[in-house]
């Protein structure tokens, strides 16, 4: 028998328990208590702080707005979860039917959707990563839209596969939904919302398509823009080439009408310049045509990228078609407002020829040298001397010699008064699309898409 213990009889259970109490009782109790304490700590760490964090920043909300009341955000999120993003069918399994918005070329490039439904208006601020603070449109909900139908690009070489276009009805008016696809990355979502903020920050103008709202609370993210019935000007001009019988009165374009539409576009361009914004994408593909044949300037993707990516102008300019670019842009020099004026002259050429490409006989890589030698656009047979003089004044090789936007507007207004309003412009025949792509230099451009 040791000094620390005594022998216990085999039937003395109390003695045996006392002899082995450390191993039988104390250690299991301590282990059980430690396990319970550990589980309690894990529960507190996982659930209590997590609840607060989810209230502050829910992963279902992609929003760059400033911090707001957390409880208010939580209530608003619950309300949204009771609404369905689609039109007639509200069952959850149909949600994938609505994926996104592109822009019709012009709002084709944003361009361009009936069951009127009430719009829950929640003021949201989408803060861009741009210098200027935008005026943000009203937040919309998915249930605000009815009669949603797909709106394909009418003119796009390399479309943006992250954005789709839909036509819909909202508050008894036709709108176009520019919808970001739900597979978009976080970077693409940020770009989409920053672009919406950029457009909102430009403010209203009668010759810019109205941004009617955004859906930014949960996917699919959307921009809501007023619809222009005839969509992009380039497609409209091509349709007019085929209306030689005059069966469609809206296609009876006269030179007077061209002066009127050009004056509207010039007014929008002047407004953008007053906002320190260079458009950089002037052309018939970036103009939208409304029911009354009024023209609105769109195609603002390059303008947004230029402001968002300040410091890398060469990369920005490469995304546009070279045959619409001013010589200094082709030479990768400083881009200015007069560069837009040059492209405006090319736009006038497109309008008076009903959609012919400029410098059709040249390769895009030959254009700069061609212009350096003093050559310029030839006068179309359908173009009057007064209109062609404006084209030439816009397309002077040296940028300081080109018209300012204010002088351009005055010349267009003056020309409209004396322009022929009776003779309908005609073209030899419909456009051969393959020939157009080659003559316009699309095969030589890269990364081009109507935004």
- Let me know: does 176 contact 225? Beta carbons within 8 Å: yes
pLDDT at 149: 81
Domain boundary, last residue among 187, 209, 226:
226
**Residue 277 shares a structural domain with residue 308:** yes
pLDDT at 164: 87
Rounded to whole angstroms, the Cα distance separating 37 from 446 reads 63
pLDDT more than 70, % of the chain: 69
Domain membership flag for residue 132: yes
Of the pLDDT bands very low, low, confident and very high (cuts 50, 70, 90), residue 22 is low
Domain membership flag for residue 20: no
Of the pLDDT bands very low, low, confident and very high (cuts 50, 70, 90), residue 159 is low
Rounded to whole angstroms, the Cα distance separating 394 from 391 reads 5
H or E element in which residue 435 lies? helix 433-439
CATH number at residue 145: 3.30.200.20
Give the pLDDT confidence of 48-70 residue by residue, as tens digits. 644 444 444 343 433 334 344 44
Domain membership flag for residue 74: no
Inter-axis angle of helices 405-418 and 255-274, nearest 10: 160
pLDDT at 208: 95
Going 125 to 128 to 133 to 134, the CA torsion angle's sign is: negative
Rounded to whole angstroms, the Cα distance separating 391 from 383 reads 10
Strand partners, 232: 288
Range from 169-173, 315-319, 365-369, 395-399 carrying the lowest mean pLDDT: 315-319
**Residue 184 shares a structural domain with residue 326:** no
Rounded to whole angstroms, the Cα distance separating 277 from 271 reads 9
What Å distances lie between residue 132 and 164, 198, 201, CA to CA?
27, 8, 8
**Residue 242 shares a structural domain with residue 156:** no
**Residue 294 shares a structural domain with residue 207:** no
Q: How many residues does the chain have?
A: 451
* Better-predicted residue by pLDDT, 160 or 271: 271
* Better-predicted residue by pLDDT, 245 or 83: 245
**Residue 302 shares a structural domain with residue 419:** yes
- How many domains does one find in the chain? 2
Domain boundary, last residue among 181, 197, 226:
226
Whether the ω angle into residue 220 lies within 30 degrees of 0, i.e. cis, is yes
pLDDT at 441: 87
Range from 37-46, 223-232, 306-315 carrying the lowest mean pLDDT: 306-315
- Whose tokens are 């005609």? That residue is 426
**Which residues have a Cβ under 8 Å from the Cβ of 132 and sit 6 or more positions away?**
201, 307
pLDDT at 326: 95
Domain membership flag for residue 54: no
Give the pLDDT confidence of 406-431 residue by residue, as tens digits. 999 999 999 999 999 999 999 888 88
CATH number at residue 422: 1.10.510.10
**Residue 263 shares a structural domain with residue 402:** yes
* Better-predicted residue by pLDDT, 287 or 20: 287
Rounded to whole angstroms, the Cα distance separating 198 from 133 reads 9
Give the pLDDT confidence of 190-232 residue by residue, as tens digits. 999 999 999 999 989 999 999 999 988 888 899 999 999 899 9
pLDDT at 55: 43
**Residue 375 shares a structural domain with residue 352:** yes
**Residue 276 shares a structural domain with residue 369:** yes
Domain membership flag for residue 382: yes
Domain membership flag for residue 152: yes
Domain membership flag for residue 91: no
Rounded to whole angstroms, the Cα distance separating 279 from 217 reads 29
**Residue 198 shares a structural domain with residue 219:** yes
Rounded to whole angstroms, the Cα distance separating 177 from 94 reads 18
Of the pLDDT bands very low, low, confident and very high (cuts 50, 70, 90), residue 246 is low
Domain membership flag for residue 250: yes
**Residue 220 shares a structural domain with residue 252:** no
What domain range is 280 assigned to? 233-444
**Residue 240 shares a structural domain with residue 367:** yes
Domain boundary, last residue among 191, 226, 261:
226
Rounded to whole angstroms, the Cα distance separating 51 from 63 reads 19
**Residue 189 shares a structural domain with residue 248:** no
Rounded to whole angstroms, the Cα distance separating 300 from 319 reads 12
């Amino acid at each position: 028998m040791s000094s620390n213990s005594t022998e216990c009889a085999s039937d003395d259970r109390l003695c045996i328990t006392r002899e082995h109490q450390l191993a039988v009782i104390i250690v299991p109790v301590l282990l059980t208590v430690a396990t319970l304490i550990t589980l309690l700590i894990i529960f507190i760490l996982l659930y209590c702080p997590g609840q607060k964090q989810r209230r502050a920043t829910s992963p279902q909300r992609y929003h760059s707005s400033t911090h707001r009341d957390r409880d208010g955000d939580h209530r608003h999120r619950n309300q949204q979860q009771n609404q369905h993003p689609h039109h007639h069918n509200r069952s959850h399994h149909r949600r994938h039917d609505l994926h996104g918005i592109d822009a019709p070329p012009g709002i084709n490039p944003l361009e361009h959707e009936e069951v009127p439904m009430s719009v829950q208006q929640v003021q949201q601020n989408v803060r861009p990563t741009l210098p200027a603070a935008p005026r943000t449109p009203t937040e919309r909900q998915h249930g605000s839209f009815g009669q949603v139908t797909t709106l394909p690009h009418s003119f796009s070489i390399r479309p943006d596969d992250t954005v789709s276009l839909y036509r819909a009805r909202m508050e008894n008016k036709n709108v176009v939904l520019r919808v970001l696809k739900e597979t978009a990355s976080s970077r693409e979502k940020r770009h989409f919302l920053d672009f919406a903020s950029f457009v909102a920050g430009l403010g209203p103008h009668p010759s810019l398509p109205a941004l009617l709202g955004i859906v930014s609370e949960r996917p699919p993210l959307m921009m809501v823009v007023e619809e222009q019935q005839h969509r992009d000007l380039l497609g409209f001009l091509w349709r007019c080439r085929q209306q030689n019988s005059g069966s469609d009165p809206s296609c009876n374009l006269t030179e007077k009408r061209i002066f009127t539409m050009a004056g509207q576009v010039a007014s929008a361009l002047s407004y953008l310049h007053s906002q320190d914004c260079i458009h950089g994408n002037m052309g018939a593909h970036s103009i939208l045509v409304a029911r009354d044949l009024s023209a609105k300037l769109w195609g603002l993707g390059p303008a947004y990228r230029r402001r968002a990516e300040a410091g890398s102008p060469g990369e920005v300019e490469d995304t546009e078609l070279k045959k619409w670019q001013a010589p200094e842009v082709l030479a990768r020099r400083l881009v200015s407002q007069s560069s837009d004026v040059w492209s405006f002259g090319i736009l006038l050429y497109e309008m008076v020829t009903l959609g012919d490409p400029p410098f059709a006989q040249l390769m895009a890589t030959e254009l700069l040298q061609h212009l350096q030698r003093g050559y310029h656009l030839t006068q179309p047979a359908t173009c009057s001397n007064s209109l062609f003089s404006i084209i030439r004044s816009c397309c002077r090789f040296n940028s300081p010699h080109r018209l300012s936007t204010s002088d351009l507007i005055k010349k267009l207004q003056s020309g409209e008064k004396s322009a022929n309003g009776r003779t309908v412009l005609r073209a030899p025949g419909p456009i051969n699309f393959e020939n157009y792509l080659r003559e316009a230099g699309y095969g030589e451009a890269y990364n081009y898409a109507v935004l």
